[in-house]
């Protein structure tokens, strides 16, 4: 682990590198380097599906509200 890169990541996150928060910055550094990229990619696809469903529902509700036929009873 090169300290300069840790400090760079830390600066990007807007913090100071010290013993108390080193683990957090090392984790972000590893993410940066792609060590856990495949895990994050799997999670990203799960979240993407959830976001798409949410956006679809939000759009549906907006359209119904715009046309005045939103059922307030649920």
Residues contacting 35, CB < 8 A, separation 6+:
none
Give tens-digit pLDDT for 23-62: 555 555 555 555 445 555 556 666 677 777 777 877 777 7
Give tens-digit pLDDT for 51-74: 777 778 777 777 776 766 555 554
How far is residue 4's CA from residue 1's CA, in Å, rounded to a whole number? 9
pLDDT confidence of residue 26: 55
Q: How confident is the model at residue 3 (pLDDT cuts 50, 70, 90)?
A: very low
- 21 DSSP assignment: G
């Amino acid at each position: 682990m090169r300290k300069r890169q840790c400090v760079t990541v830390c600066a990007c996150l807007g913090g100071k590198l010290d013993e108390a928060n080193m683990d957090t910055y090392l984790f972000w550094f590893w993410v940066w380097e792609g060590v856990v990229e495949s895990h994050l990619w799997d999670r990203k696809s799960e979240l993407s599906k959830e976001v798409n469903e949410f956006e679809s529902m939000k759009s549906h509700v907006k359209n119904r509200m715009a046309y005045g036929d939103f059922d307030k009873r649920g």
